[in-house]
Structure 1
Amino acid sequence: MRRTGTTRRNALAMTGALAAGAVLPGCGSDTDDAGGARGDSAGSGTRAAADGASAVRTEKALRADATRATATLLAGYERVLTAHPSTAAALTPMRDAVRAHLEAVSARKAPATGPVRSPATGPAAAVRELAAAERTAADAYTALLGEAPGELARLLASVAAACAAHAYLLTELAKETPA
């Protein structure tokens, strides 16, 4: 394996910093949207209950979006592993991590995905395609962060950081994989 300018330790540190940067802006203050402190009006209990119901619907919708993105990514790994068994040693741990992400983000059983077609013909092209899919998934999770409530936001940030790390590793793997 040839040495690149970026070490694994630096890549993981940058990924952790990215995740922390994505989560910290989501931390809110103790004021509501009307500008007053929470709990200062008689209607705040009703409003909190309505906001809670809305948050549950929002969390379910966000989890459904994250589940679809993760299921599509997992299907891509399965396709590459089936088409190019020589990549199994490198891709199996990442595929297993994506499967764990799917279990973490899905509120219920994950949807089945159909076969994913790919123009990639060789293992190196297939790995590059997976790297692009990981970047797309990381971007999708990051986009969902702004709407996600606390715990789900932390989970999505963590999964986005893992996808970014996978994308980096896959990009490096594609350079070393014979065409």
Structure 2
Amino acid sequence: MTEVVLLFPIFVIVVFVTAKMFALLVLVQKMEIASYYAARRWQLESHLNADPVYMTFDAGLKSDIEEKVSGYLGYGSPAVAGFLNLKGPKANLDITRTQVWNVLTLTVETNRAGVALICPPGGAASVCAAAPSKMNCINGYNYICTGNKQLTVIKYVPNRDRPIQFKLPGIH
């Protein structure tokens, strides 16, 4: 019985750290799905014409997509935002138009993961001194211990006009 009492705190710590790492994986996957949704919707509903009438519609479309993406990522729910370490009121969706591509950039800023037990007082230098990939180690340490990291997903969407209505082949 003594072993269980002594090992239980270690088990809880391992579970908590594993859950926080799992949260990072979930956040990355949710960002990929949300960026695909944003790119596809922008491709199908935005306008090619740079006329100011269409640009105001596209600005409204961008804000609607940004709102839906932020809701999907968990910005509307304090519990989900806390689990995924989301920082700020919403995700940032930036759309850059070029002649061939529309470049959609989805950026999410995170808080620190809150696992202070594995963050030594010496900082990243004490943890990553012997790491073979020092920059990756420092990035991971900063995500877990200091926060303020930005995760970014970039999608390239081709410029094209409205999709042609699909008709099944057959006798008409």
Higher Cα Rg, which structure: 2
RCO higher in 1 or 2 (8 Å CA, sep ≥ 6)? Answer: 1
In the superposition, the TM-score normalised over structure 1's length comes to 0.36
In the superposition, the TM-score normalised over structure 2's length comes to 0.37
Structure (1/2) with the larger helix percentage: 1
Structure (1/2) with the larger strand percentage: 2
